[in-house]
Amino acid sequence: MDPAQDKTTVGTPAGLNLRGQLSTPNIVLPSRVDRNETFLRTCKFRCFSPRFARPSNTELLLGFARAFGRGLNQFQFCQMLRQCNGCQNFVFTDRLTIHQCDGPVLQTQADNFDIVRALVTMERNAGLSRLDFCHLFTCCDLCHRVFLEHLIFSHACMDI
Protein backbone atom coordinates (compact mmCIF):
# COMPACT_ATOMS: atom_id res chain seq x y z
CA MET A 1 0.00 0.00 0.00
CA ASP A 2 1.17 3.52 -0.81
CA PRO A 3 2.15 5.35 2.44
CA ALA A 4 0.33 8.46 1.19
CA GLN A 5 -2.91 6.46 1.09
CA ASP A 6 -2.31 4.65 4.39
CA LYS A 7 -4.55 6.53 6.83
CA THR A 8 -2.91 4.81 9.80
CA THR A 9 0.33 6.74 9.33
CA VAL A 10 -1.28 10.15 9.68
CA GLY A 11 0.26 11.89 12.65
CA THR A 12 -1.80 13.17 15.53
CA PRO A 13 -0.98 16.32 17.52
CA ALA A 14 0.81 14.17 20.10
CA GLY A 15 3.09 12.72 17.37
CA LEU A 16 1.38 9.32 17.48
CA ASN A 17 -0.31 7.56 14.60
CA LEU A 18 -3.77 6.10 14.91
CA ARG A 19 -2.31 2.81 16.21
CA GLY A 20 -0.65 4.67 19.11
CA GLN A 21 2.86 4.30 17.69
CA LEU A 22 5.30 7.18 17.28
CA SER A 23 5.01 8.62 13.82
CA THR A 24 7.79 10.35 11.97
CA PRO A 25 6.55 13.46 10.16
CA ASN A 26 7.69 13.93 6.60
CA ILE A 27 10.37 16.56 6.98
CA VAL A 28 11.36 18.54 3.92
CA LEU A 29 14.91 19.81 4.19
CA PRO A 30 15.81 23.08 2.49
CA SER A 31 17.76 22.76 -0.70
CA ARG A 32 21.45 23.59 -0.56
CA VAL A 33 21.24 25.88 -3.60
CA ASP A 34 22.95 29.19 -2.88
CA ARG A 35 20.37 31.88 -3.45
CA ASN A 36 22.05 34.69 -1.54
CA GLU A 37 22.80 36.71 -4.67
CA THR A 38 19.18 36.51 -5.82
CA PHE A 39 17.98 37.39 -2.34
CA LEU A 40 20.34 40.37 -2.06
CA ARG A 41 19.23 41.74 -5.45
CA THR A 42 15.58 41.63 -4.35
CA CYS A 43 16.20 43.44 -1.04
CA LYS A 44 16.90 46.83 -2.62
CA PHE A 45 18.84 48.20 0.34
CA ARG A 46 19.13 51.95 0.47
CA CYS A 47 22.72 53.05 -0.11
CA PHE A 48 24.70 55.61 1.82
CA SER A 49 28.03 57.37 1.65
CA PRO A 50 30.12 57.27 4.85
CA ARG A 51 31.19 60.86 4.13
CA PHE A 52 27.58 62.01 4.39
CA ALA A 53 26.23 59.60 7.03
CA ARG A 54 23.91 61.20 9.57
CA PRO A 55 24.20 60.50 13.29
CA SER A 56 21.70 58.10 14.82
CA ASN A 57 18.88 59.39 17.00
CA THR A 58 20.68 58.06 20.07
CA GLU A 59 23.88 59.87 19.09
CA LEU A 60 21.87 63.07 18.61
CA LEU A 61 20.25 62.69 22.03
CA LEU A 62 23.53 61.99 23.81
CA GLY A 63 25.25 64.94 22.14
CA PHE A 64 22.27 67.17 22.79
CA ALA A 65 22.31 66.51 26.54
CA ARG A 66 26.06 67.08 26.90
CA ALA A 67 27.21 70.24 28.66
CA PHE A 68 29.25 72.48 26.33
CA GLY A 69 27.73 70.60 23.41
CA ARG A 70 26.90 72.05 20.02
CA GLY A 71 23.16 71.60 20.37
CA LEU A 72 21.09 70.46 17.40
CA ASN A 73 19.97 72.21 14.26
CA GLN A 74 16.25 72.20 13.54
CA PHE A 75 16.45 69.23 11.16
CA GLN A 76 18.34 67.11 13.73
CA PHE A 77 15.95 68.13 16.51
CA CYS A 78 12.95 67.08 14.41
CA GLN A 79 14.74 63.84 13.52
CA MET A 80 15.19 63.05 17.21
CA LEU A 81 11.62 63.81 18.38
CA ARG A 82 8.18 63.10 16.91
CA GLN A 83 4.80 64.53 17.88
CA CYS A 84 1.93 62.12 18.51
CA ASN A 85 -1.17 62.66 16.35
CA GLY A 86 -3.40 61.60 19.25
CA CYS A 87 -2.22 63.49 22.31
CA GLN A 88 0.18 65.99 20.68
CA ASN A 89 2.99 64.99 23.09
CA PHE A 90 6.59 64.66 21.93
CA VAL A 91 8.34 61.28 21.91
CA PHE A 92 11.89 60.15 21.20
CA THR A 93 11.86 58.67 17.69
CA ASP A 94 13.40 55.35 18.75
CA ARG A 95 10.66 54.79 21.36
CA LEU A 96 7.50 55.42 19.31
CA THR A 97 6.25 51.87 19.88
CA ILE A 98 6.13 52.27 23.67
CA HIS A 99 4.35 55.63 23.64
CA GLN A 100 1.03 55.58 25.48
CA CYS A 101 -1.10 58.72 25.21
CA ASP A 102 -2.75 58.16 28.60
CA GLY A 103 0.39 56.70 30.18
CA PRO A 104 2.33 58.13 33.10
CA VAL A 105 3.85 61.54 32.47
CA LEU A 106 7.59 62.09 32.60
CA GLN A 107 8.60 63.83 35.82
CA THR A 108 10.40 66.73 34.12
CA GLN A 109 10.15 69.01 37.18
CA ALA A 110 11.88 66.53 39.51
CA ASP A 111 15.30 67.57 40.83
CA ASN A 112 16.97 64.44 39.49
CA PHE A 113 15.28 64.51 36.04
CA ASP A 114 17.58 63.11 33.34
CA ILE A 115 16.39 63.84 29.79
CA VAL A 116 18.39 60.97 28.28
CA ARG A 117 17.10 58.37 30.73
CA ALA A 118 13.53 59.69 30.39
CA LEU A 119 13.51 59.52 26.61
CA VAL A 120 15.22 56.13 26.18
CA THR A 121 13.25 54.30 28.87
CA MET A 122 11.50 51.08 27.83
CA GLU A 123 8.59 51.81 30.18
CA ARG A 124 5.39 53.06 28.59
CA ASN A 125 4.86 56.78 29.09
CA ALA A 126 3.04 59.79 27.65
CA GLY A 127 6.19 61.52 26.41
CA LEU A 128 6.79 65.26 26.78
CA SER A 129 3.84 67.64 26.91
CA ARG A 130 3.91 71.03 25.17
CA LEU A 131 4.52 72.63 28.57
CA ASP A 132 7.45 70.25 29.23
CA PHE A 133 8.75 71.06 25.77
CA CYS A 134 8.72 74.81 26.46
CA HIS A 135 10.45 74.37 29.84
CA LEU A 136 13.13 71.94 28.64
CA PHE A 137 14.25 73.30 25.26
CA THR A 138 15.33 76.65 23.92
CA CYS A 139 16.80 77.99 20.71
CA CYS A 140 19.87 80.26 20.55
CA ASP A 141 19.09 83.64 18.96
CA LEU A 142 22.51 83.78 17.30
CA CYS A 143 23.26 80.29 15.95
CA HIS A 144 19.62 79.07 15.85
CA ARG A 145 20.53 75.71 17.35
CA VAL A 146 18.33 73.98 19.93
CA PHE A 147 19.64 73.36 23.46
CA LEU A 148 18.41 72.15 26.79
CA GLU A 149 17.24 75.25 28.65
CA HIS A 150 19.78 74.85 31.46
CA LEU A 151 22.68 74.48 28.97
CA ILE A 152 22.00 77.45 26.68
CA PHE A 153 24.63 79.68 28.26
CA SER A 154 27.34 77.02 28.30
CA HIS A 155 27.62 76.60 24.53
CA ALA A 156 30.15 78.34 22.34
CA CYS A 157 27.96 79.91 19.70
CA MET A 158 29.26 78.97 16.27
CA ASP A 159 28.12 82.18 14.54
CA ILE A 160 30.05 84.60 16.77
Tens-digit pLDDT profile for residues 20-59: 666 666 777 666 556 677 777 788 878 888 888 889 999 9
Helix, strand or coil, per DSSP, at residue 76: helix
Domain spans, the chain? 50-154
Gap between the Cα atoms of 137 and 79, Å rounded: 15
Minimum mean pLDDT range among 63-67, 113-117, 130-134:
63-67
The CA–CA distances, whole Å, from 31 to 27, 28, 35, 147 equal 12, 9, 10, 56
pTM of the model: 0.68
Q: How would residue 135 be classed by pLDDT, with cut points 50, 70 and 90?
A: very high
**Is residue 159 over pLDDT 60?**
no
